[in-house]
Amino acid sequence: MADEYTRGQMDISEHKQTFDAVMRVSVYASLLTGLVVLYLTLVFATGLDWFLSLVITGLVGGIGGFMTKQGVLYWSSLAGLSVIAVLSGVIASLLG
């Protein structure tokens, strides 16, 4: 069986597609996780206003998205997280 293998003769197109997909998901998840941590750090650790923290995080997220050539899913996730942050900030401001 090992004698049948010839280096460089195997079709690896499916392996390459799987690797590319795993790398895209890893970059996407890392960017969003980093942005959430950045926002929470700016709000709670440094004491910045929630809206200023959101603007800074949005700028960093936009730059990161353009640099890594993210697709529609990333941008819609970024917009959705921004909406959640705005709603949470408004509710916290009204109650606090």
* 46 domain residue, yes or no: yes
The tokens describing 3, both together, are 């004698």
What separation, in Å, do the N-terminal and C-terminal C-alpha atoms of the chain show? 71
* 66 domain residue, yes or no: yes
State the residue range of the domain holding 78. 13-95
* 90 domain residue, yes or no: yes
Domains of the chain: total:
1
Q: pLDDT tens digits for the chain (96 residues)?
A: 567 767 777 778 898 999 999 999 999 999 999 999 999 999 999 989 999 999 999 999 999 999 999 999 999 999 999 999 999 999 988 997
* 49 domain residue, yes or no: yes
* 5 domain residue, yes or no: no
* 22 domain residue, yes or no: yes
Residue 25 to residue 52: CA distance in whole angstroms? 29
* 60 domain residue, yes or no: yes
pLDDT for the residue 1: 58
Closest CA to 30 of 66, 84, 81, 74: 74
pLDDT for the residue 7: 76
